[in-house]
Amino acid sequence: MTMAGDHREGSGWRGRRTILGSSLATALSAVPPFLIGSLMPAMRRDLAIDTGGLGILIALYFAAGALAAVPGGRLVERLGARRGLILTGAVTSLSLLLIATAVQTWTHLALVMGLAGVANGMVHPAGNLALVRGVTSARRGAAFGIKQAAAPLATMFAGLALPVLALTLGWKAAFLVAMLPLPFIVLVLPADLAGGCMARRLPPLRPDRTLVLVAVGGALGFGAATTVGAFVVDSVVSAGGRPAIAGATLTAASAACIAVRILIGTHTDRMQQPSIRLVAGLLGMGAGGLIVLAVSPEMVWPVGAVVGMGAGWGWPGLLYHAVAEANPQSPAAATAVATTGNAMGAVLVPLAFGLVASRVSFPAAWTMSAIAMLLAALLMILADRTRSRTAGSD
| Within a domain: 189 | no
Place 148 in a pLDDT band, splitting at 50, 70 and 90.
Answer: confident
* HEC per residue, 206-222: CCCHHHHHHHHHHHHHH
| Within a domain: 199 | no
The CATH number that applies at residue 142 is 1.20.1250.20
Which candidate, 208, 253, 216, 256, places its Cα nearest to that of 378?
Answer: 216
- Contact present, 229 and 152 (Cβ < 8 Å): yes
| Within a domain: 272 | yes
Total tally of structural domains belonging to the chain? 1
User: Side-chain half-sphere of 187: how many Cα atoms within 13 Å?
Assistant: 5
- Contact present, 344 and 351 (Cβ < 8 Å): no
Place 45 in a pLDDT band, splitting at 50, 70 and 90.
Answer: confident
Give pLDDT, residue 224: 94
Better-scored residue on pLDDT, 103 or 307: 307
| Within a domain: 288 | yes
Query: What is this structure's pTM?
Result: 0.76
Please say if the pLDDT value at position 2 is more than 80. Answer: no
| Within a domain: 260 | yes
Better-scored residue on pLDDT, 10 or 145: 145
Give pLDDT, residue 200: 47
| Within a domain: 198 | no
Give pLDDT, residue 196: 56
| Within a domain: 337 | yes
| Within a domain: 2 | no
- Residue range 75-91: mean pLDDT, rounded: 90
Please say if the pLDDT value at position 8 is more than 70. Answer: no
What's the mean per-residue pLDDT of the chain? 83
Q: Which domain holds residue 258?
A: 9-182+205-393
Which candidate, 134, 127, 57, 114, places its Cα nearest to that of 87?
Answer: 127
- Residue range 50-73: mean pLDDT, rounded: 85
| Cα distance between residue 251 and residue 209, in whole Å | 37
- Give the burial string for 143-153 (b: 16+ CB within 10 Å, else e): bbbbbbbbbbb
Please say if the pLDDT value at position 75 is more than 60. Answer: yes
Rounded (5°) CA angle 64-294-66: 10
pLDDT digits (tens, 9 = 90+) for 189-221: 888 775 555 444 555 556 678 888 999 999 999
Give pLDDT, residue 1: 34
- Contact present, 120 and 92 (Cβ < 8 Å): yes
